[in-house]
Amino acid sequence: MRPSTLRRLLRRVASTAALALVAATLSTAAAVRPAAAAGGLQQVTGFGSNPGNLQMYEYAPETLPANAPLVIALHGCTQTANDYYTASGWPKYADLWGFAVVFPQTTAANNALSCFGWFDPAEDSRGKGEAASIAQMVEYAKQQYGSDGRRVYVTGLSAGGGMTADLLAAYPDVFAGGSVASGLPAQCATSQAGASGCQTGPPKLTPAQWGDKVRGAHPGYSGPWPRVAIWQGTSDYTVYPANATALRDQWTDVWGIGQTPSATDSLPGNTTRSVYDDASGNPAVVTYSVAGMGHGLAVSPGSGAEQCGTTAAYFLNAICSTYHTGVFWGLDRDVPGGGEQLPAPSGLRVTGVTADSVSLSWDAVAGAGSYAVHRNGTKVATTAGTTYTDPGLTAGTAYRYSVAAIDGSGTPGTASPRVTAATTGGAPARCFTATNYAQVAAGRARTAGGHVYANGSDENMGLYNVFVTHTLKESPPGYFVIADTGCTA
């Protein structure tokens, strides 16, 4: 018997406690069933040497253009590719925004509970096992569909989320972004025995130590790094919320940014979104904490533009995580017809604020028929002109805006750099004078590229050390500006 065959046999008969990412809930889970092609889901064979013994399923719109994005979607334990295709919502946005989706599937031949081997170095490392099989699926799909190799993304739930983090670490040159739902940080465990410990409480490592696990997965790679979304229910007692914190620490460290969010806001389904910007002010890591949600993928059944999915075992009614993940990756800005996107509007600026409104203006873009205005990452308006006033806001609150030009066919172009505006009113201003190091330690500023930036305004405060001192004025809460002279509360 070959060693690889023996290893798989031993994994199959190993104890459920060691294998199960969902051990606490298996008593209510349906038995694993073979995935059958349903609707537009089709199985692909012969995609490569397949060292991980996986199955490949795929879905693509009938009119998929060349150079479209590609998404890889990984199911959780006890699930199949067809389960994920049916309930996750990815086919809806593949049709709406124009991209292909590959649904890898593992089976009981690999793992008694059909879990991806996120805890096994022979399966989750670069060039090995299941990770290598998934990389082969990517290459096959790119050739089949003419996909844009610069826009390949991977997402997964539970064990699929753990494998997603491992793939982002092992293949940062393949994936432009990822989304980990109820999952584990990259290389959290390297054995079945260590898997259960990660689920209930990952090792207490520093952000740098977590980041080293990513850097060690593909030694010598220096970037660019994938942009990472992290989804977690606060009442998840299968994969505890501490894993989301470890994921945030891991990927913000890889990006070289601090662990203090650049912006935080509320979304539907009792969801709190925290955004961690890179040095250019673009979101690099985003966490989505769903209050009261247990172990599963957040969905929101319905026909609305921001609704998706079907409730089922481990598909929980809260918010359409697929929609928000796609927007974070920029899939909603891709061109269904394969044409050129309009450039980003320049000169976006805040022209006025009141207690309940923000006024904006920007420079016109040649060929634009209208403009889409986004507040905190969500489109709030479409306007024909180059000005907009956003009404009905909360006093004393900071908001982040970007604008994209829309051509005559209704296709949005590249979004502009974001600006931040703060409505008036609310709590009185407060002033803090301290070194740059202390301002960061207190959560009033963040670091990027060796410099310090004020939270909210993103004003550059200079080098990250104890020799530079600034006064920061906070108004509204969480929004800081440099006010070295005349700061009055």
Q: How far apart are CA 162 and CA 178, in angstroms?
A: 11
Lookup: tokens for 97:
């925004």
CB-based contact 316:298 (threshold 8 Å): yes
Lookup: tokens for 141:
């799909």
What would the 3-class secondary structure string for 332-378 be?
A: HHCCCCCCCCCCCCCCCEEEEECCCCEEEECCCCCCCCEEEEEECCE
Task: Write the DSSP assignment of 40-95 as a string of letters.
Answer: T-EEE--SS--TT--EEEEE--TTPPTT--EEEEE--TT--HHHHHHHSSHHHHHH
Task: Write the burial class of residue 30 (CB in 10 Å: 0-12 exposed, 13-18 middle, 19+ buried).
Answer: exposed
Catalytic residue among 88, 125, 147, 158: 158
Alpha-helical segments (H) within 98-206 = 121-124, 129-145, 159-170, 192-200
Question: Is 476 strand, coil or helix?
Answer: coil
Neighbouring CB atoms inside 10 A of 324's CB total 24
Beta partners for 230?
180, 287
- DSSP character at residue 216: T
133 is catalytic: no
| Phi, psi torsion values for 191, nearest 5 degrees | -160, 165
Q: How far apart are CA 46 and CA 49, in angstroms?
A: 8
Positions marked active-site: 158
